[in-house]
Amino acid sequence: MVLGNRLLCFCYNEAISDCEKSCIFAIKNMLFNSLGFALFLPVVFLIYWLLRRSLRWQNFFVLAASYFFYGCWDWRFLVLIAFTSAISYISGLMIARLPRGHARWMMWGNVVVNLLILGVFKYYDFFVQSFADLFLGGCSDGLLLHLVLPVGISFYTFQALSYTIDVYRMTVQPTRDVVAFFAYVSFFPQLVAGPIERASSLLPQFTATRRFNYALAVDGLRQMLWGFFKKMVVADTCALYVDRVFAEYQQYTGSTLLLAAILFSIQIYGDFSGYSDIAIGCAKLFGIRLRRNFNVPYFSRDIAEFWRRWHISLTSWFRDYVYIPLGGSRVGRGRIVFNTFVIFLLSGLWHGANWTFVAWGAYHAFLFMPLILLGRNRRHLDTVAEGRLLPSWFEAVEMLITFILAAIGWVIFRSESISDAISYLYAIFAQGLFAAPLSVAVPEYGILLIALPLLLVVEWLNRDKEHSFARQPRRRWMRWVGYMLLIFIIVCYMQTSEMPFIYFQF
* 265 and 178 share one domain: no
Q: Find the range with the poorest average confidence among 136-150, 208-222, 302-316.
A: 136-150
Asked, for residue 317, whether it belongs to a domain, the answer is: no
Q: What are phi and psi of 12, to 5 degrees?
A: -70, 140
Asked, for residue 356, whether it belongs to a domain, the answer is: no
Asked, for residue 477, whether it belongs to a domain, the answer is: yes
CA distance 84 to 76: 14
Instruction: Mark whether 364 is an active-site residue.
Output: no
Angle, helices 393-414/418-430, rounded to nearest 10 degrees: 130
> In total, how many domains does the chain have?
2
The domain in which residue 252 lies consists of: 226-301+380-505
Q: Mean pLDDT: which of 10-14, 273-277, 429-433 is highest?
A: 273-277
Q: What are phi and psi of 142, to 5 degrees?
A: 80, -5
* 260 and 186 share one domain: no
* 161 and 231 share one domain: no
Paired residues of 147 in beta bridges: 12
In the structure, what pLDDT confidence band is assigned to residue 165 with cuts at 50, 70 and 90? very high
For range 87-102, the mean pLDDT: 93
For range 78-106, the mean pLDDT: 93
* 202 and 238 share one domain: no
pLDDT surpasses 60 at 95: yes
pLDDT surpasses 60 at 8: no
In this prediction, residue 75 carries a pLDDT of 84
* 292 and 406 share one domain: yes
In this prediction, residue 460 carries a pLDDT of 95
For range 276-294, the mean pLDDT: 95
* 249 and 139 share one domain: no
pLDDT surpasses 70 at 11: no
For range 489-494, the mean pLDDT: 83
* 254 and 396 share one domain: yes
* 179 and 293 share one domain: no
CA distance 160 to 145: 25
Q: Find the range with the poorest average confidence among 89-98, 165-174, 367-376, 399-408.
A: 367-376
Read off the pTM. Answer: 0.89
* 232 and 196 share one domain: no
From 102, 146, 311, 351, the catalytic residue: 351
* 99 and 160 share one domain: yes
Which are the contacts of 210, defined by CB distance < 8 A and separation ≥ 6? Answer: 52, 55, 58, 286, 287, 288
Asked, for residue 368, whether it belongs to a domain, the answer is: no
* 181 and 265 share one domain: no
Single out the residue of 282, 283, 309 nearest to residue 225, CA to CA. Answer: 282
CA distance 413 to 421: 8
